[in-house]
Structure 1
């Protein structure tokens, strides 16, 4: 059965569930979302009371953080990555279309320097196939983006920042379902809901998400062999081996606000991803048969309870994670789909391989908060993370099976204080990182460095930081933060993925001194006009910076340490609101990342000393305007029109010290414009949206000059009942 057939059956099954549940859950209408996140108002006999939302309170805290509310975009056919990509200081770079690997940058730090969470729990607990690309949007309340300094309650070794997804916590029965269709044979379907079992306090929360795409967009300017002219020519060809299918299902059951628990939920989730592999890390490596499959089964329990001034919480999860990469064709493909016999497989030019990885993950995250008084509080957090790495090959008998284990313990203690009616807030924290390795793989030691390490080692690292803010008045406040942070290498960086990423067992943890300073404020001009602004400067001094390198000959990646990288820069964000109708926002970011390795390992001067780190955007910005029309046909409908523009300055593909300026490869400047249109009626019960991405069909690139899709269209229908 083809993946497309499987995907269509999954969508049909989801639609059947939706239709069967409509009569039971259709009860009352839903009120619209307020487009101004700073103010949530209640109309009491024409007297309006304004209060700050949770998102705005977070942004006004001691750390540099953006809080992105999902409600204004819940009806659009977009992913979390799409929304995050338009925030200040953040850049998301994809390797292709739907479901492709991506790299997220926050203030110049990218890749695995950024950690991902869902409700404060590492996202990896859901399985390796779950990412910002395929999490159902209708379960998300907001997305928090921490820049540089990360609060200790997240309990992770994040060096450059963190993304924390906050899910919706409703106290009523509801059903939220959507279906979307887009260019390049793209389909999405999401369903989530909540049902309280009658005469009990038990709530059931089911969630289903399906994403499918052929990703058959055109690759422009690729090389193919011309038989008539007997030479390679540049032409346009569609991607022909890039199908993607992901299925996510989750069921949670638990209680809220009972005598023995403020919250207790048990959960089980399943995720499966089937992905055809079209290219290597660069577009000149074309594949036509290689595939990657993964599935995971996760079990979780979460408990929280407050006793007076003491609050406790614990989350325990165990994940069975299985992945398989199939590369058995002795073929060399071209972009027109033709192929020639070869002496090795597609991806590595070695023997046929069906590489299997079983990576069980056990996690414990526990915390205790103690409020000494209204001005002082303490918080303790402990994170345990044990990742196995059981690998073998089904057909390559020369491959060495191993069972590696990486274990992390992260402990943190935070002291917080506030004075002058919360105007001055400060947090101090210390962190202890303990990393234990049990490495068994020894093959390819000249590449992986397995002959140079202690295969059973435990190392300890310390970190500490401070964050403070002072609000002089509502229109003006200042904040600053510092952290000496440590990031332990991930299993993908350290152990590779067995196919496209080589292991580097000699990889060292990154360490960084992160500095942030900024100003922010809100200005109200009567009830109708409202302005928010924020500007931040940052400095990152990174030791043993982990960077991905690519072999152009093999198309293989490996993560290596750069001795010293210094990053400095700033970002800003300004938004204007008029009533609940008009929003205009503009943000920009500039960062300067330099290699400060003065000498090479052989003692000779390094040619890249003080060069800008290549293949990463260093100046970019976004502009967005949305306008809402109310009461068009009825008193409960709304039409939203939006236009967004993204600018990315050109940057070099490789180190600027190598090669002549005139022939040096560079990623060109990019200007991308998107349009969106959404209509809601019966007070947001029914919603439909249309959008066009890359309106002017501009050529756009991301990682290693891999082209992104051109102009595309999408439509989505969503229904919300309660």
Structure 2
């Protein structure tokens, strides 16, 4: 496709002393996947692997990540204390809120919804269950924290972003270059916070969606309230669950497969089936001494075939299951007036397997051999694997909210996490005589955040000051690169601080300006520290990532103006400086660890316009430009100074138009037609050394259409959608084209 043109404080001393004391005590006693743009983008003049080895590495990375894409622990709804903190603080923060309730009757996924926001790009390598990276202002992978009701995904079990049914979500908050202190977690690039719905008492909500490539999605949620079981106390009980399946058997085009004329060829993804399901149950005791005492339990499982891109993969797959339990306490005015307390504990156990014991080995897409013994399809040296990872998680989240003066609030949030994992590989280890699965390890982490919110002049001026302390203790087993020596136990402690300041001033009623700064920290994750036993070895000397993020923005909201009903504009300019970014670069010869990169600087701008033409028509567009560059010359990788960071979109736009009308055929019915489009400018897959290099991802322009109709005040709804209706070839990842034109229909019934 041709490239399209681009129009283109003394009062705070006591608070900080309190945090310092808490931090010292803690010291005595966080859709995402591997951030691998270096793995995908070895310099063309100094490549670490050839195309074939790169393709094999990508398949192995997919297998390694496949065990972490589906299960979902108990998703308790956002507590009142969390909702109140967010309601007050979001006025000053750099955040965009997506109303997921508007999409509940559609077949859209979380990543599709998030991808429509300015500053956000979700890059996927395939269909349902595929690896996905959330990119916010150029930062992606583990730099972006995904939370559910304010709790990091890492504490929710192995969560797949698109596994959560959209009709069980109320809002999706996108924090750009900013992770609020009230989220007791680390993170250097931003955060996605998914807020689940509060179900009405005595209600049932069920939906079923059918899409192209034999894709099925079903979900159900039900609750029942028993009034006055003892005095004023009531008991609410409920269940929910979902089921997802897709064959993902669409044609994809890959540069690894050439025709006789040397052109890229297309084949069907014939080993990419994906299935996941999850069931949850909860019981809430309300209006006893505690306002709410909650109990929850969940079970989930998945099964995923591993799709090859250069070589055909016949049998290798990943599977696993997860169990979880939660316990929560919430109370307003505990001990003193205006002091709100919340504490939520969770436990999770998961067991994930990668099964690579096939005797079949394919040299390319069409030529396969059968060996006399198990050789494996992914790993080097003909070594099969039956890798099982058992993981245990214990988490406790404490929230305190105190209004000490009218419109002046202080928030204290602390998350404690214990994580332990034990990998085994009886098949591979028995063949070679040493551990091939990776080695056991555990981490203990404490993140505590304190925020002060001040509102003046009838909330026209708002100031939000935050401070977080991070502590991580890691214990891992490491080996020499020869893989024949006895494992050595290594320990490392990490302590760091992050802080932020946000200011909002409403000049006049429709016009406000914002500014924010955050010194952010991201601690190494267990898989970065422990390795995966396949391509990634243990790394005990990783440093935490650091980022200094600046943002200046303007918001304008004009209502009842000539010709249109409402006009809204939000614009931001941002700058970031990143140090010690954690990266991974694969080689074809051995397992290698993650390492810290040279500094990176980035800047950009974004804008968002919405126009309510009248009560029936809504138009909108947003745009994002982001420029990330390497600061210093890197002799080891041959990366020049001021080189553009590869594999990250630099300019993209979204467009939307919607027509809606109610009371057409019957009272309380509703119809909506919509059109949505996305333009992404071309960007380089490798470091841009020369303008003549060919390895780049072409510009794309895709369009979607949909219709929705509901009756009985939205109790029964039906929708039909066509994504990419012009069937454009689109790449989010080099070597793997996305599905083309797809169809989806959904029916949803809600009883209350």
* Residue among 265, 269, 279 paired with 1:239: 269
Equivalence map 1:278-293=2 (5 Å): 278-279=307-308, 283-293=309-319
Question: Which residue in 2 is equivalent to 1:301?
Answer: 327
- Per-residue Cα deviation, 1:674-699 (whole angstroms, up to 9, x for no partner): 11111111221111111111111111
Matched, 1:474 2:526: no
Counterparts of 1:386 and 1:195, CA distance in 2:
34
Counterparts of 1:416 and 1:550, CA distance in 2:
45
Question: Which residue in 1 is equivalent to 2:296?
Answer: 267
Question: Which residue in 1 is equivalent to 2:659?
Answer: 627
Checking the alignment, whether the CA contact within 8 Å between 2:201 and 2:236 is kept in structure 1 is no
Question: Which residue in 1 is equivalent to 2:549?
Answer: 514
- Per-residue Cα deviation, 1:124-152 (whole angstroms, up to 9, x for no partner): 33311x22210122221101111112211
Question: Which residue in 2 is equivalent to 1:425?
Answer: 462
Question: Which residue in 1 is equivalent to 2:442?
Answer: 405
Equivalence map 1:56-67=2 (5 Å): 61-67=91-97
Counterparts of 2:305 and 2:367, CA distance in 1:
17
Checking the alignment, whether the CA contact within 8 Å between 2:439 and 2:530 is kept in structure 1 is no
Q: Aligned pair in 2 of structure 1 residues 522, 426: CA closer, same or farther (>3 Å)?
A: same
- SS of the residue corresponding to residue 161 of structure 2 reads coil
Counterparts of 1:145 and 1:447, CA distance in 2:
46
Higher relative contact order (CA 8 A, sep 6+): 2
Counterparts of 1:512 and 1:656, CA distance in 2:
24
Q: Which moved more, 1:694-703 or 1:342-351?
A: 342-351
Q: Aligned pair in 2 of structure 1 residues 597, 403: CA closer, same or farther (>3 Å)?
A: same
Q: Aligned pair in 2 of structure 1 residues 95, 549: CA closer, same or farther (>3 Å)?
A: farther
* Residue among 535, 539, 544 paired with 2:580: 544
What's the CA shift for 1:638? 1.4
Q: Aligned pair in 2 of structure 1 residues 576, 445: CA closer, same or farther (>3 Å)?
A: farther
Structure 1 residues without counterparts, runs of 5 or longer:
1-52
Question: Which residue in 2 is equivalent to 1:39?
Answer: none
Q: Aligned pair in 2 of structure 1 residues 680, 273: CA closer, same or farther (>3 Å)?
A: same
Checking the alignment, whether the CA contact within 8 Å between 1:55 and 1:68 is kept in structure 2 is no
Q: Aligned pair in 2 of structure 1 residues 513, 164: CA closer, same or farther (>3 Å)?
A: same
Counterparts of 1:424 and 1:272, CA distance in 2:
48
- Per-residue Cα deviation, 1:249-302 (whole angstroms, up to 9, x for no partner): 11111133x1412222111111111100103xxx32442211011211111112
Question: Which residue in 1 is equivalent to 2:240?
Answer: 207
Checking the alignment, whether the CA contact within 8 Å between 1:180 and 1:715 is kept in structure 2 is yes
What's the CA shift for 1:170? 3.5
What's the CA shift for 1:109? 1.0
- SS of the residue corresponding to residue 153 of structure 1 reads coil
Counterparts of 1:640 and 1:411, CA distance in 2:
45
Counterparts of 1:163 and 1:709, CA distance in 2:
25
- SS of the residue corresponding to residue 77 of structure 1 reads coil
Counterparts of 2:657 and 2:213, CA distance in 1:
27
* Residue among 413, 418, 429 paired with 1:381: 413
* Residue among 586, 590, 614 paired with 2:646: 614
- SS of the residue corresponding to residue 184 of structure 1 reads coil
Equivalence map 1:41-440=2 (5 Å): 61-128=91-158, 130-197=159-226, 199-200=228-229, 201-221=234-254, 234-256=264-286, 258-279=287-308, 283-307=309-333, 308-333=337-362, 338-341=367-370, 344-350=375-381, 351-397=383-429, 398-400=433-435, 402-440=439-477
CA RMSD of superposed structures (Å) = 2.6
- SS of the residue corresponding to residue 734 of structure 2 reads helix
Q: Aligned pair in 2 of structure 1 residues 100, 313: CA closer, same or farther (>3 Å)?
A: same
- Per-residue Cα deviation, 1:210-255 (whole angstroms, up to 9, x for no partner): 10000000012566588xx7x9874321100000001011111113
- SS of the residue corresponding to residue 402 of structure 1 reads coil
How many residues end up aligned between the 2 structures?
653
Counterparts of 1:661 and 1:135, CA distance in 2:
42
What's the CA shift for 1:500? 5.3
Counterparts of 1:233 and 1:607, CA distance in 2:
30
What's the CA shift for 1:55? 13
Equivalence map 1:507-586=2 (5 Å): 507-525=542-560, 529-551=565-587, 553=588, 559-586=594-621
Q: Aligned pair in 2 of structure 1 residues 359, 541: CA closer, same or farther (>3 Å)?
A: same
- SS of the residue corresponding to residue 249 of structure 2 reads coil
Checking the alignment, whether the CA contact within 8 Å between 2:625 and 2:652 is kept in structure 1 is yes
Q: Aligned pair in 2 of structure 1 residues 554, 235: CA closer, same or farther (>3 Å)?
A: farther
Counterparts of 1:555 and 1:648, CA distance in 2:
36
What's the CA shift for 1:73? 1.1
